[in-house]
Amino acid sequence: MKGTNLGEFEELVLLTIAALVNDAYSVAICDELEKNTGRSAKLGVVHAVLNRLEEKGFVKSKLGEATSTRGGKRKRYYTVTNAGKASLIKAKEVRDNLWSMIPGMALKNI
């Protein structure tokens, strides 16, 4: 099925959601991404990715509490679904596999 693969940025976002556990909503995800990757994460981009991840069934969301900083609007919290977890593990396996295939010497010469 097209679109079930994880893109690089999608993977990062998914990992961030998993890392933030119960506090994963859009603005927090942006901040966390910026902190960890050192590159600026635009809200628009993150939003689009979250939307896509939800469409693919890797995350699910529910509305949380409202705060005054948000003009009385509720936050949408994201959690990783089982499918999401599976694809993360799969992505990690692929990488580990590839890493293990590289002989130590070869990497040093690069």
Residues that bind other proteins (CB under 8 A): 26-27, 43-44, 47-48, 51, 63, 66, 68-71, 73-76
Nearer to other proteins, 60 or 91 (CB): 60
Nearer to other proteins, 56 or 75 (CB): 75
Smallest gap from residue 87 Cβ to other proteins (A):
21
Smallest gap from residue 32 Cβ to other proteins (A):
15
Nearer to other proteins, 38 or 71 (CB): 71
**Please, are residues 52 and 10 in contact by the beta-carbon 8 Å criterion?**
yes
Alpha-carbon distance 57 to 61, whole Å? 10
Nearer to other proteins, 26 or 79 (CB): 26
Smallest gap from residue 53 Cβ to other proteins (A):
12
**Please, are residues 59 and 14 in contact by the beta-carbon 8 Å criterion?**
yes
CA distances from 99 to 88, 91, 95, 96, 105 (A): 16, 12, 6, 5, 13
**Please, are residues 37 and 11 in contact by the beta-carbon 8 Å criterion?**
no
